[in-house]
Amino acid sequence: MTGAAPLAPRRVVVLRHGETEHNVAGIWQGHLDTGLSARGIEQAEAAGPHLAALRPTHLVSSDLTRARATAQALSRVIGLPVETDERLREVDVGAWQGLTSAEVREGWPEVQAALGRGEDVRRGDHGETLAEVAARVAAALTEHLAQVGPGECLVVSTHGAAGRVAAAWLLGLDDDVAWRVLGPLGNAHWAELVEGRAGWRLHTWNASSGADAIEGTPPP
């Protein structure tokens, strides 16, 4: 007598939005509702067929335009509607929103130094900490994963910091460990995570269609 066949694992794909003009200029965006640049649109369109090959069954996005437009590029390929969730937004950077990296370094040197040491301090005076981002992202993922059955795949279109936090939460990693081990997701790059008996494991990180992306790590 043989036992029942094991259920196919669930999968989550964490997708960062395509490039924006603010990414190119090194401007902090946070909750600023920016659209994709011309190259960002090309990146999103190029990613669509590659992500379609992962057979998504659920598609959810941050409600900010840059993430939603990236999800819509995939939606046009696979025919799934895009569900939006504001809990998947980028970290709120408060007073830094719309400022260049140089302006933030000049105006908040102590906070920038603390971030450089890996401390989770509040961004831009009245912005968020990553722990606060993790709490809302975790709540969103818990809710959306409840709708994902065995063998199904959830694609989450989000942002750089929020995407790393999402992956870290699934993997059970502290964010400082995730930053050191995983590093940043590039524009229109993605991670695939697979659920096993003991929890989630990382299958791929920072995968892409091969479309051109700017070098370095632009601010959130």
Tens of pLDDT, residue by residue over 31-45, are 999 999 999 999 999
Residue type, 132: E
Supply the mean pLDDT for the chain: 94
In sign, the C-alpha dihedral spanning 74, 68, 219, 145 is: negative
SS3 per-residue string spanning 157-212: EECHHHHHHHHHHHHCCCHHHHHHHHCCCCCCCEEEEEEECCEEEEEEEEECCCCC
- Helix boundaries (H) for the chain: 21-25, 38-52, 65-78, 101-107, 109-116, 130-145, 160-171, 175-182
Q: Is the pLDDT of residue 60 over 50?
A: yes
* Chain position carrying tokens 């669509």: 48
pLDDT at 1: 45
Q: Take residue 119 and report the two structure tokens written for it.
A: 């401390």
pLDDT at 118: 83
> Catalytic amino acids?
17, 90
- The mean per-residue pLDDT over the stretch 102-123 comes to 93
Domain 11-93+129-207 falls in which CATH fold? Rossmann fold (3.40.50)
pLDDT at 213: 58
pLDDT at 5: 60
Taking CB atoms within 8 Å and a gap of at least 24, the contacts of 115-123 are 118/176, 118/179, 118/180, 120/175, 120/176, 122/94, 123/30, 123/91, 123/92, 123/93, 123/94, 123/96
pTM of the full predicted structure?
A: 0.93
- The mean per-residue pLDDT over the stretch 81-94 comes to 98
**DSSP symbol at 100:** B
